[in-house]
Structure 1
């Protein structure tokens, strides 16, 4: 009997641990997983207006892989949604500049430059579908010989990362990355 109770207790504990580590993707499906957290002691206030600015500049050597900062930005979106912040109270903008601008190339241009499909294309489109504004630094585009028609459709081009960031910060956005 004691063995049966121990086995049952262990099974319940294992099930609870497994359940507690379930990945969820409430907004950006397939990217930026968050783990269900049943024991948090503080959550975002769902009545507040969240205005977040995320920037990325570094390049990535392996162009066949998803650009890591983009997955992190998806996690930011998913974490807020999973914590109960309604979509109407959450606004996020991403600014890609310097070496990260390659992530914004449409598939044809990406293939031409790197010989592979753009692994970031689907995620950037999911950001747009979720209402996340994705900006590209015009200065970085010029330095890397990128024209607007080479970009993923729907991206916003700023004159520079500096001006996009300063406008967002002036308008109450908080820099998170």
Structure 2
């Protein structure tokens, strides 16, 4: 029996053909935030509304050389919506960082001084800020973890606390996503 001519073989090929797609980055964050294309979703995305969101990120990777997957999720959010036809002008994003993720906002120099390697998240954080994401460091985490403003990637803002920044942004209409 020739396996290549059986109905089961064709069924297997068709079933796995959907898995041959690849993820794609961009158009907002080119080197991070790869997403899958979703063909004809049942729950349609309203492309006319504004997507105003605040991401709350407290957990960072254990390794000093890993990208923080939670920070990468912010890039994915931007890319997936832009790839789906939502203009960047309708994507308003803030990122609040605290806890073990706080160190991911250090400059390469400050990160090297502490961990002996460059910050693997620096390029991602800079790309997010260049795309208009407001990046906010919890002031309490800054003090607790001895991460002074001068050691942070330029453009990162320090708030009184992550809690305070979350309340203020939600009062401004941002929808919270806790990662």
TM-score of the pair, normalised by structure 2: 0.86
Q: Is the 8 A contact 1:44 1:84 kept in 2?
A: no
SS of equivalent to 1:94: strand
TM-superposed CA distance for 1:43, in Å, is: 3.1
**Whole-angstrom CA distance in 2 between matches of 1:18 and 1:138:** 44
Q: Unpaired segments of 5 or more residues in structure 2?
A: none
Residues 51 and 174 in structure 1, CA contact (< 8 A), matched pair in contact too: yes
Q: CA deviation at 1:76?
A: 1.2
Aligned 8 A contact 2:137 2:159 in 1: yes
C-alpha separation in 1, matches of 2:80 and 2:171 = 25
Match of 1:23 in 2: 23
Q: Is the 8 A contact 1:137 1:158 kept in 2?
A: yes
C-alpha distance in 1 between matches for 2:146 and 2:19: 49
Output one character per residue of 1:56-103: Cα deviation in whole Å (capped at 9) or x when no partner: 112321011111111112111111112221111110100001211100
Unaligned runs of 5+ in 1: none
Instruction: State the partner residue of 1:166.
Output: 167
After superposition, where does 1:51-70 map in structure 2 within 5 Å? 51-70=52-71
- Which deviates more, 43-52 or 136-145? 43-52
Which residue in the other structure is 1:85 paired with? 86
Change in CA separation of 1:54 and 1:107 when aligned onto 2, cut-off 3 Å: same
CA–CA distance in 1 between the matches of 2:66 and 2:57?
16
Q: What residue is the counterpart of 1:40 in the other structure?
A: 41
Cα RMSD (Å): 2.1
> Which string of whole-angstrom CA distances, capped at 9 and with x for unpartnered residues, describes residues 102-152 of structure 1?
000000000000111100000001101111111111111011112111000
Q: Verify the 8 A CA contact 1:43 1:83 in the aligned structure 2.
A: no
Q: Is the 8 A contact 2:47 2:86 kept in 1?
A: yes
Q: Distance in 2 between matches of 1:24 and 1:44?
A: 19
Q: How many residues align?
A: 170
TM-score (norm 1): 0.87
